[in-house]
Structure 1
Amino acid sequence: MNLKKENSFKDITPSSLISTKNSDTKSSSFIEIEQINSKCLPDLLMEQVLAYPDRTAVVCDNTNLSYRSLAEKSSNLAVYLQHIGVMVDECIGLFVDPSFDLMIGAWGILFSGSAYLPLSPEYPEDRLRYMIADADLKVIFTQEKLRKKLSKIAPQNTKIITLEDAVAFTDAYRITNIYNRCVYLRPNNLAYIIYTSGSTGKPKGVMIEHHSIVNQMLWLRHAYAINQNSIILQKTPMSFDAAQWEILSPCCGSQVIMGSAGVYRDPERLIRMIIQYNVTTLQCVPTLLQALLNSDDCQECHSLKQIFSGGEALSKKLALECSQVLSHCTLVNLYGPTECTINASAYKVTAETLSTTKSTNDFNAIPIGNPVDNTEFYILDNQMIPVSTGEIGELFISGNQLARGYLHRPELTSEKFIDNPFCIHTKLYRTGDLAYWNADGSVQFAGRVDNQVKLRGYRVELDEIKLAIEAHAWVQNAAVFIRNDARTGFQNLIACIELNAREAALMDQGINSAHHLSKKNKLQVKAQLSNPGCKSQHELADKDIVELSNKRATQAQRHLAFSRKTYRFFEGGSVSKDDILKLLSCSTSTKAVSERSISSLSFHELSEILRNFGQYHSHERLLPKYAGSIWIPRG
């Protein structure tokens, strides 16, 4: 047997761990700091495995995985990873769909001493290639069904492995030594890396160490009872930092329900899963929360006890609606940059909160609350001096949850993680967020120092969007901003553009959605703008011109013209030639059709008919709309 690090694992026994029951009764900050500084994620998971080995840890497609099975499979994967040469602090890619493989892959990598990098198969291939190259990944864990797809994205020298490879290896060598984790693993080693957007336009890898995520998980357990009684729906895309506590919650004793790929985009399917699996805990961005509340079936989610809202501002209006529709649920507003390990602060929404909260924000936002355990907030002015209550300043964060920094970007790390002038030998993370202290000691978010904003859970840079729009041939200048919708309480991304005078007339609608595929090239658009089939003014110079009485379209005609969205799609499916002939047949029509000669039409009637085939203009469209075409039979 050629195990490169045979003795790099240690057996985990009950005596080497603080029991879960005892640790739950300890609430002093000293005990918590002691745990954080002495434990890694595998240690927390093994506490649950040893205490409740047969309890269900993960459910996927109505199939259960016990804590014992999760530990065994993860440990065996760790042995195989060690065999192929992975090292402590090395980053291993995780390219999997939501499944048991996702959970086993993440925990197996952690057991091996390495850190995992989530690579969502939903991501664009160019972004995945960039992340793989930037992180310099040598090994990527995937599923057999995704191996071919991954091989086309990853460099040829990347080693691609699956759970089947690990099983074949451990079976061949009859390795049965379970409940292991790398003996060299320490709390200051990397646990995972999350890529987030940056001001340069290129994603940057945020390095999270074990002590930081352990602090987060213990805080969730102590502050919000994420424990053996919790059933958590894992529905957040795994490449988001917020997904990590869902994935890692078995280390708190919780049961995780794996949502299928894309379930976060389907409120009705989410509700069905909550009801089917008796989910108690759900996290979502306010946009999704609103979509859930809009469903008639939302009130049937009787098992739901906790809703964590984050990723964007939570309006007081939405919080009030949630308390009315799901009155049995606790709503918690979360805040936290990726650089501060998921959640840096929390605010529990109560009836008193909703009746007394005051905000200077246009949409009356709920506060982001108070820092999590072992975390400090500083709101400072331009001279790095703390501001008074109600005074807006920039938010800085310090404490145990700060990331190590940015992968392969020491200059950016030094710029964003600065020395803490208020506590030696510690760092401050410059969030770039504006905030102020409320009178009750909570913190209120007040916007961004720069133009980087969070919109529906995504961090976006307004200048990046502006430059991307201006790169288009049609656009001369662009401006981008966020506007608060007073009706919904949500934020909308607004772009204003100045068209390029030479290119505007040749607008190409060709490469967007199917709705725009009627314009395959600029020539077609140019032809539409030039009124094909109409005589020019020069050709009509010596001709008699008759002004039609219905030159201005009626409201009914405009409604008919603009209600037709496309030439190609019709309600009820495709339309055949026989369908048209049947419709034109007098014998089958519900309303008799009679023929009339042109001579029998009044001038007004003829004008009205001909107007149907003219152009329809709108201030919302550059190109004119056509309601139909005229068919002239030939005898």
Structure 2
Amino acid sequence: MTARPTVTRNEVTPAVNALSPIPSAGVLVEAVLRQARRSPDAIAVAYGDDELTYRQLMARAGRMAAALRGRGLTRGDLVAVCLTPGTDLVTAFLAAVWAGCAYVPLDPAHPRQRRAELLRDCGARLLITHAIATGGGPVHDATEAVSPAALLDQAGDRREPPPSGASPDDIAYICYTSGTTGVPKGVAVPQSAVTHLVTDTDYIDLGPGDRVAQASNPAFDAATFEIWGALCNGARLEGLPKEVVVDPDALAEAIRTRGVSALFLTTALFHLVALERPAAFAPLRTLLVGGEALNPHRARDVLAHPPGALLNVYGPTETTTFAAWHRADRVGADAVSVPIGTPLRRMRAYVLDEFLRETPDGVTGELYLAGPGLAHGYWADPAATAERFVADPTGKGERLYRTGDRARRDADGRIDFRGRGDQQVKIRGFRVEPAEVEAQVARRPDVACAVVTAGRDSSDDIRLTLYVVPAPGAGEDLAERVLARLHETLPGYAVPSAAVVLDRLPLSGNGKVDRAALLPAPDTPATGEPAAPRSPLESALVLLWAELLDVPEVGIHDDFFRLGGHSLTISRLRSLIKQTLRVELPLADMFDTKTVAEQAAALTLREPAPGALTAAAQELLRVTALTDEEVEAELASTERES
């Protein structure tokens, strides 16, 4: 089988399939400029009170692009962007493409070492960041850092860059995903793939009357749909802060008050909101959900108060955000899954067996994708590109992307997702290769070997568990030291929830690690002897934490996030506290109070009346301690009194 030419640092390989005509708006900037000419005074981007009209956005982006060219950057160069969501970030993305460059989004919340690693890998010539003065920006000797304001100052009276000669085949951005070798893989996405995603589409019809939420992490490929979907169609990009997105009540309010019409959420976040505020999405014209398998029960909850359309979308980063979609107008009571549906217009999907033959309907195989949404390949990684981007075995001249996902078609031709075919998992919408985490740990001199497994907790969330065998002389507290280091080098979603030290790893009959024998979660978190609660309130919080995090013991000084918590579980905890203790703590305070002791102190400051919290905590502890028979007796007594 012939592999496609690889993407190198010095060559851009066209990836548009000649069999698949794409819209004429091949270059992204031209598409946005058309909208700016039609409605120059319409709001293009809004993050709270920080707004830019299309006229203002194009003026700022043009000056910034001119400054980039003035610094010697030219067609094909890479510009890293490490900014929090806001108008500066959108301007920087647009300016980089306008200058003929490609942007590389970096997450400011990721560990500094991780960001520096990505800069080294991509070789970006320039980094746009606000963090220069504080020293918080990623540092790499070959990358110069500059702030957005400094770039605008350097533009002088230049209003836009000279023509770059950029074509639809030029790379628009590089998005990093988890890699099995311990090194993330940069997916090089051409401008034509982005215009395919957001213009002349069949799954959504965006226009000047829409307000598209920018709710995703800009380093996550869903931001491609949000940002370019809005700007290329004359819509308004409505920024939603993270603390709003992960809070079902705040999200419902933002959708209503800001007039959001289109919203993408990761499946995990959708499930959270569907449980607590299923009617929150009713004002939307289109709700898109993707990243993991959609729970049919949660879909039915939302369809009882439906948005205009609920779309279950599917697509790896290598196929530019979305490659398939299914409109879920109705989910049957007996449904065990929700299909990912059919390919986007001009995309094609094939379910193939191990011999690359199409499988009959109802038979599971591996999902392959083709069409103008395909990325060029992996940046400077010819081996990985050749492995995943393969020639069509039928000889039609197409490239196919091997997703690694298992799928089958039903009798109506709809595709049903059947899970991963390898060890890769998705955690809160982000792809994670356990092998990458293993590789990070295996580099340590105090670790002989390491294995990472994935399993679901009581809340049906995927969690990673790390098992390590110590090297001679490793010393005490190895698990805690390893996890602490991973928090410094990996994104939070990729850090295992727990670590277990073993004398040896179990082996299967063929001498390989028996991962199935490691799947059960550890009995205790690796944080030492837990400190006991000192009050009824702390005891109640310990109870809530243990139930939510699915751990048997919680100490009052244990870190919520080190025990496996994340932004979604902390939102659930906030709701539990509100329901059981009848006190509401702002979500920002929930993130700031990372231990039971800190949380109890913060709650006490918001106590509605003296003794109210203690009384509520004591009642929670009393009810929790009741036997089933005692609960039935209390319910019967309550019914008689009523």
Same fold by TM-score greater than 0.5: yes
Note the C-alpha offset of 1:494.
Answer: 5.8
- Cα offsets for 1:536-588 (capped at 9, x unmatched): xxxxxxxxxxxxxxxxxxxx9xx9998683379277539xxxxxxxxxxxxxx
Cα distance in structure 2, aligned partners of 1:110 and 1:457: 26
- Counterparts of 1:561 and 1:225, CA distance in 2: 46
Alignment of 1:340 with 2:319, yes or no, is: yes
For 2:242 and 2:420, the matched residues in 1 are separated by 32
Contiguous gaps of at least 5 residues in structure 1: 1-28, 359-363, 515-521, 530-555, 575-635
* 1:159 has 2:187 as partner: no
1:273: which partner in 2? 254
Contact 1:275 1:302 in 2 (8 A): no
Q: Which structure has the larger Rg?
A: 1
Task: Report the Cα distance in structure 1 between the residues aligned to 2:451 and 2:186, rounded to whole angstroms.
Answer: 29
Confirm whether residue 452 of structure 1 aligns to residue 424 of structure 2. yes
Aligned counterpart, 2:167: 186
Worse-matched range after superposition: 388-397 or 475-484: 475-484
- Structure 2: gaps (5+ residues): 1-16, 488-500, 502-524, 530-535, 544-553, 558-595, 603-642
Q: Is the 8 A contact 1:233 1:257 kept in 2?
A: yes
Give identity over the alignment, percent: 25
Deviations 1:346-392 (A, max 9, x none): 011012xx12875xxxxx22111111111111111111111100111
Equivalent residue number for residue 57 of structure 1: 44
Q: How does 1:254-403 map to 2 (within 5 A)?
A: 254-260=235-241, 263-296=244-277, 299=279, 303-324=283-304, 326-351=305-330, 354-355=331-332, 358=335, 364-403=336-375
1:35 paired residue number? 23
Residues 85 and 272 of structure 1, relative CA distance in 2, 3 Å threshold: same
- Which of 142, 152, 176 is the matching residue for 1:195? 176
Q: What CA distance in whole angstroms lies between the structure 2 residues aligned with 1:30 and 1:419?
A: 14
Deviation at 1:50, TM superposition (A): 1.1
Match of 2:234 in 1: 253
Classify 1:30/1:199 alpha carbon distance in 2 versus 1 (closer, same or farther; 3 Å).
Answer: closer
- Classify 1:481/1:299 alpha carbon distance in 2 versus 1 (closer, same or farther; 3 Å): closer
User: More displaced, 61-70 or 196-205?
Assistant: 61-70
Answer with 59-68 or 102-111: which moved more: 59-68
Whether 1:237 aligns to 2:210 is no
CA contact (8 A) 1:420 1:426 kept: yes
Q: Does 1:168 align with 2:153?
A: yes
Q: Could you tell me whether the CA contact under 8 Å between 1:475 and 1:497 is conserved in 2? A: no
1:20 paired residue number: none
Question: Which whole-Å CA distance do the structure 2 matches of 1:375 and 1:279 have between them?
Answer: 28
| Counterpart-to-counterpart distance in 1, 2:142 and 2:454 | 43
Equivalent-residue separation in structure 1 for 2:311 and 2:541 (angstroms): 48
Q: Is the 8 A contact 2:183 2:436 kept in 1?
A: no
Confirm or deny: 8 A CA contact 1:97 1:261 kept in the other structure: no
After superposition, the Cα gap between the structure-2 partners of 1:405 and 1:562, relative to the gap in structure 1 and judged at 3 Å, is closer
Kindly state the Cα deviation for residue 413 of structure 1 after the two structures are TM-superposed. Answer: 0.9
- 1:49–1:68: 8 Å Cα contact kept in structure 2? yes
In the aligned structure 2, how far is the partner of 1:193 from the partner of 1:56? 28
Is this contact kept in 2: 1:371–1:377, CA < 8 A? yes
CA distance in 1, matches of 2:324, 2:472: 51
Mapped contact 1:92–1:137 kept (Cα < 8 A): yes
Confirm or deny: 8 A CA contact 1:42 1:181 kept in the other structure.
no
1:69 aligns to what SS in structure 2? helix
Q: Give distance in 2, aligned partners of 1:447 and 1:561.
A: 36
Provide the C-alpha distance between the structure 2 equivalents of 1:208 and 1:482, rounded to a whole number of angstroms.
32
**Is the contact made by 2:129 and 2:137 (CA closer than 8 Å) also made in structure 1?**
no
Closer, same or farther: CA 416–149 of 1 in aligned 2, 3 Å: farther
Q: CA deviation at 1:475?
A: 9.5
Corresponding letter in the other structure for 1:434: R
Report the residue type matching 1:56 in the other structure.
Answer: I
Asked whether the equivalents of residues 333 and 348 of structure 1 are also in contact (C-alpha less than 8 Å), the reply is yes
Within 1, Cα distance between the matches of 2:104 and 2:233?
22
Partner of 2:400: 428
Structure 1 position 52, deviation (Å): 1.0
CA contact (8 A) 2:180 2:434 kept: no
Q: Distance in 1 between matches of 2:287 and 2:84?
A: 24
In structure 2, do the counterparts of structure 1 residues 451 and 84 end up closer, same or farther at CA, with 3 Å as the change threshold? same
| SS of corresponding position for 2:44 | strand
Instruction: Tell me how far 1:47 sits from its aligned partner.
Output: 1.4
Counterparts of 1:164 and 1:467 in 2: how far apart (Å)? 39
- Judge conservation of contact 2:50–2:87 (CA < 8 Å) in 1: no
State whether residues 57 and 255 of structure 1, in contact with CA within 8 Å, keep that contact through their aligned partners in structure 2.
yes
The 1-side partners of 2:316 and 2:231 are apart by: 23
Q: Which residue of 2 aligns with 1:126?
A: 113
The alignment status of 1:416 with 2:403, answered yes or no, reads no
What are the within-5 Å matches in structure 2 for residues 467-616 of structure 1? 480-483=453-456, 490-493=460-463, 495=465, 507=477, 565-566=555-556, 569=597, 573=601
From the superposition, tell whether residues 366 and 79 of structure 1 become closer, same or farther in structure 2 (CA, over 3 Å): same
Tell me whether 1:80 sits opposite 2:57 in the alignment: no
- Give 2:504's aligned residue: none
Structure 2 contact 404–422 (Cα < 8 Å) conserved: yes
Residue aligning to 1:8: none
Q: TM-score, normalised by structure 2?
A: 0.69
1:210 equivalent in structure 2: 191
Kept after mapping to 2: 8 A contact 1:469/1:475: no
CA deviations on 1:476-510 (whole Å, 9 max, x unpaired) are 8756243486xx6x443364858879999955686
Structure 1 pair 469/408, CA: closer, same or farther in 2 (3 Å)?
closer
Partner of 1:148, secondary structure, is: coil
SS at match of 1:390: coil
SS at match of 2:401: strand
C-alpha separation in 1, matches of 2:242 and 2:271: 21
- Tell me what 2:632 maps to: none
Residue 224 of structure 1, CA deviation = 1.1
Aligned residue-pair number: 491
Amino acid at match of 1:125: R
Aligned partner letter, 1:443: I
Shift of 1:291: 2.1
User: For residues 509 and 139 of structure 1, do their structure 2 counterparts lie closer, same or farther at Cα, with a shift above 3 Å needed?
Assistant: closer
Alignment check: 8 A CA contact 2:45 2:237 kept: yes
Offset at residue 34 of structure 1 (A): 5.1
C-alpha distance 263-154 of structure 1, shift in aligned 2 (>3 A):
farther
Q: Distance in 1 between matches of 2:540 and 2:275?
A: 31
Q: Does residue 44 of structure 1 match 2:31?
A: yes
Q: Please give the alpha-carbon distance, in whole angstroms, between the structure 1 residues aligned to 2:260 and 2:601.
A: 39
AA aligned to 1:270 is: L
1:235-290 deviations in Å (ceiling 9; x for gaps): 10111111111121211111011223554444443333223311111111122112
Q: Give the match's secondary structure for 1:224.
A: coil
CA distance in 2, matches of 1:376, 1:561: 51
1:113 corresponds, among 100, 103, 106, to 100
Q: Structure 1 pair 90/573, CA: closer, same or farther in 2 (3 Å)?
A: same
SS at match of 2:175: strand
For residue 195 of structure 1, what is the amino acid of its counterpart?
Y
